[in-house]
Structure 1
Amino acid sequence: MNTPNDTDRPLMTDRAALLRQRARALRAGHADVLHRIAADEIEDRLSEINRSFTRPAVVTGFPDFWAARFPQARVVGDEPLLDLQPGAHDLVIHAMALHWAEDPVGQMVQCRRALSEDGLFIAVCFGGQTLHEARAALAEAEAEVTGGLSPRVLPMGEIRDMGGLLHRAGLALPVADLLSQRASYRDLLHLARDLRAMGEGNAMAARLRRPTGRAVFARAAALMARHHPDRDDPSRVATSFDLVFLTGWAPSATQQKPLRPGSARHSLANALNDLRTKT
């Protein structure tokens, strides 16, 4: 992924195309089921924390949905420069947009700066094996039919790599975990229509700028049906959506600190020997 100083690297995201797709999805009736799952999960996680957050903020490409779910929050767009004031919030949620960021670490750093001491950062975005079935089918079909490849599905970060971004952003007590969802569709074209309704169509800067031949989609649909049938209804196809959750805290002197390696007073071997002796 690119950072603002990587001027020699091509951009990953066509920002104007992404905004057009989001606007089109909203006009048509946003398919927000994965946003609802993400919001429910965040609310559950917040309920398990013994703290009240009174100055929340949400960063998202779909402000109306997230403003309704977090009505007390300041909701801002996922622009490269976030409209957040330093130290103004005790909770910042980056909601379903980080996977499109050219500079995800930069987004996290800005969120950290917007947090007061010991404030909480939570991000949720697509990652892991999201849409790996469609990616494989489209790549194989395009190679067979045209002899070439073009980017069609956004590259998704692996959870281990994405968790490392929290440390790079200066957040303490980092945690990364994944919620995997399986979805069933009539066919690949049904999936493509749903992605457009989510505002998650192909907005990559290097995407093919001319219409794709029907033969490519027909072959990809056949491959998808052959290799990824729905277990409950083999006439349909199944695909994966992985929601990655990233959690970290603005540093504070009152937070627990991990022990330095080698600082333990007793070894595991000695503890096991003591246990055997007692039993």
Structure 2
Amino acid sequence: MSTIVSVFDRNLVRRHRDRAAAGFGAHDFLVHETAARLVERLEDITRAFPLALDLGCHGGEIARILAEHPKIGTLFQCDLSPGLAGRAASHAPGRTFVADEEWLPLAEQCLDLVLSNLSLHWVNDLPGTLVQLRRALRPGGLLLGSLLGGETLKELRSCLSEAELLVEGGLSPRFSPLAGVRDIGDLLARVGFHTLTVDIDTLVVHYADPWRLLRDLRGMGESNAVAVRRRTFLRRATLATALALYQQNHAGADGRVPATFQVITLTAWAPDPV
């Protein structure tokens, strides 16, 4: 019997990403920024990577940055969402496919490099996915990834929780449980990676009002997909109270409100041959 707990509704994650695909370019600032920071890590590495995979490719941001990069031979892309994979395909014609990070169609020791930018925080069986990636990497291969950490959207989380208590008298699951740095490091070591680096960047984005943050989250495909979420829509009164609290508690002197995104970045190597 499987012991994997389905924290996320993966079908809903895919639908959210499909829905976001058409207008993704208007909301992809965070994915662009983290993709650029992830690729920068390659500058400190002297070796080349003949065959690489961008796992959870969104709109093809990594492929765009890596175009004609001297250290990368051939780059493949895949995404859970057919809509986003289709959007990304122009950056890797004939080398883009749809795949679920939890069930990867990868042969053993077929890749030299895996990059994954802001997708792994939606995976239910993260240890299982990391095992698959380690097996798919050749000895001495590299995994470079980024995912959202537990401090992400702390302002919105606190305001929505307070609003639900005030208006409805209770709380419901509206946010994804996100991993911490120690959790990620322990998982990587447990599945057989070595020479690990796991660190945190905190990106704070300022918005004219909280509504614009909500539009960006929807436009990035980052809406709530917790499996045990409440199946009814958020009450208008609860949302209005939450947004008023956000403005009241977090607005700066200029009236703009911050939104925190905690990005965990991992660097991990597959073992060299004995």
Match of 2:45 among 49, 71, 75: 49
Say if 1:63 and 1:77, in contact at 8 Å, map to a contact too: no
- Report the CA distance between 1:23 and its aligned residue: 1.1
Match of 1:6 among 3, 18, 21: 3
- Report the CA distance between 1:81 and its aligned residue: 0.5
Normalising by structure 1, what TM-score? 0.83
- 1:159 equivalent to 2:181? Answer yes
Residue in 2 aligned with 1:15? 10
* 3-state SS of 2:187 partner: helix
* 3-state SS of 1:156 partner: coil
Q: Give 1:76's aligned amino acid.
A: C
Q: Give 2:272's aligned amino acid.
A: S
1:24 and 1:202 map into 2 onto residues whose CA distance is: 13
Moved more, 220-229 or 240-249: 220-229
1:53 and 1:130 map into 2 onto residues whose CA distance is: 32
Residue in 1 aligned with 2:76? 74
> Aligned pair in 2 of structure 1 residues 245, 199: CA closer, same or farther (>3 Å)?
same
- Report the CA distance between 1:189 and its aligned residue: 2.1
Structure 2 gap ranges (5+) = 68-73, 81-99
**1:37-79 CA distances to partner (integer Å, 9 max, x unpaired)?**
1221122110111111111111105254444344531112351
Structure 1 gap ranges (5+) = 255-279
Residue in 2 aligned with 1:277? none
- Report the CA distance between 1:202 and its aligned residue: 0.9
Q: Give 1:117's aligned amino acid.
A: P
- 1:112 equivalent to 2:134? Answer yes
* Aligned Cα root-mean-square deviation (Å): 1.8
Normalising by structure 2, what TM-score? 0.84
Q: 1:94-243, aligned counterparts within 5 Å?
A: 94-230=116-252, 233=254, 235-243=255-263
2:256 and 2:185 map into 1 onto residues whose CA distance is: 34
Which structure has the bigger radius of gyration? 1
- Report the CA distance between 1:250 and its aligned residue: 0.5
Say if 2:150 and 2:177, in contact at 8 Å, map to a contact too: no
Q: Percent identity?
A: 36
- Report the CA distance between 1:153 and its aligned residue: 1.7
2:50 and 2:256 map into 1 onto residues whose CA distance is: 46
